[in-house]
Amino acid sequence: MWRRATLFLRVLEPPIHINASLSQTFTTGFPFHFQEKDGICPKPLITFVLGGPGSGKGTQCGKIVETFGFKHLSAGDLLRREMVSDSEYGSMIMNTIGEGRIVPSEVTVKLILREMESSDNHKFLIDGFPRSQENRIAFEQIIGAEPHMVLFFDCPEEEMVKRVLSRNQGRIDDNINTIKNRLQVFESLNLPVIDYYAKKGKLYRINAVGTVDEIFEHVRPVFEACEVYIYCYFYN
């Protein structure tokens, strides 16, 4: 794991130091900017967090946020929140999901972008997205960048089914038939995305079997390397 974490240091781009004459024309290649601090305007550090239903990725995102200060964006939560709002997308999302169809990639990416633009953080965990190659392409086109790294929580199907059925969160999709269908959809749509980033050397495969703390010990070295990178460029 430390070998992969060390390689990660060479993947990330350094933040850009800007002076007053360049501040008005500075661009990161993203459609939004972050507030300059101490002469440094950092580029967003984007991490995709992938894994099947019940793989524990949401729980681990909570620990990453607590330990390393990332902003957690759950694509599913954003869609559910938007669905019950009076926004331009709300009724469309509700109708689309109600008809068993997939929300257009462009809509999901725009919801993610809105959250990124409104945040004063520059380190983002994007949880449960992209779910397909179409999602991935839409993200790259709209946001204008790829993730710096991708975490994949690798968990056996039997364990994921057991976790989902026992978590009792009151979600209507937490039943045996629905979870089996969700796993099939995940395998057919999400695994090509995982393979894509593996070939690009951006994938970190996390063993998602064990206690929450045991799994986090597999996650921690990746983000400790990220913290070293940030410290070296911001303070040296």
List, in sequence order, every beta strand (DSSP E) within 67-200.
71-74, 123-127, 149-154
Token digits of residue 68: 């390393």
pLDDT greater than 80 at residue 154 = yes
Segment (H or E) for 206: strand 203-207
Q: What integer pLDDT is reported at residue 133 of this predicted model?
A: 95
SS3 of residue 204 by DSSP: strand
pLDDT greater than 70 at residue 226 = yes
* 219: Cβ contacts below 8 Å, ≥ 6 apart: 60, 63, 64, 151, 206
Q: How much is the mean pLDDT over the chain? A: 78
Predicted model pTM: 0.76
Tell me the per-residue pLDDT of 91-126, one tens digit each, with 9 for 90 and over. 888 888 777 677 899 999 999 999 999 999 989 999
Report, as an integer, the average pLDDT of 193-207.
95
pLDDT greater than 50 at residue 144 = yes
Q: What integer pLDDT is reported at residue 193 of this predicted model?
A: 95
How many domains, in total, are found in the chain?
1
Report, as an integer, the average pLDDT of 190-203.
94
Residue 157 forms part of a structural domain: yes
Structural domain that includes position 203: 45-235
Report, as an integer, the average pLDDT of 78-100.
84
Tell me the per-residue pLDDT of 155-184, one tens digit each, with 9 for 90 and over. 998 888 888 888 755 454 556 777 777 788
* 186: Cβ contacts below 8 Å, ≥ 6 apart: 52, 53, 131
SS3 of residue 51 by DSSP: strand
Token digits of residue 175: 């039943």
pLDDT above 70 covers a percentage of the chain that reads 75
Residue 134 forms part of a structural domain: yes
Residue 101 forms part of a structural domain: yes
* 193: Cβ contacts below 8 Å, ≥ 6 apart: 50, 130, 131, 132, 133, 135, 136
pLDDT greater than 50 at residue 85 = yes
3-state class percentages of the chain: helix first, strand second, coil last, to nearest 5: 55, 15, 35
Residue 62 forms part of a structural domain: yes
Q: State how far the Cα of 212 lies from the Cα of 217, in Å rounded to an integer.
A: 9
Dihedral pair phi/psi, residue 126, rounded to 5°:
-105, 110
Residue 182 forms part of a structural domain: yes
Quick check: 18 and 38 in contact, CB under 8 A? Answer: no
CA 234 to chain centre: 24
Q: State how far the Cα of 113 lies from the Cα of 103, in Å rounded to an integer.
A: 16
The residue that leads in pLDDT, 34 or 51, is 51
Report, as an integer, the average pLDDT of 16-38.
34
Residue 2 forms part of a structural domain: no
Which of the four pLDDT bands, split at 50, 70 and 90, describes residue 2? Answer: very low
Residue 173 forms part of a structural domain: yes
CATH number of the domain enclosing 176:
3.40.50.300
In this structure, which amino acid lies at residue 27?
T
Most confident of 20-24, 99-103, 216-220, 226-230: 216-220
Q: What integer pLDDT is reported at residue 168 of this predicted model?
A: 58
Residue 156 forms part of a structural domain: yes
The residue that leads in pLDDT, 42 or 215, is 215
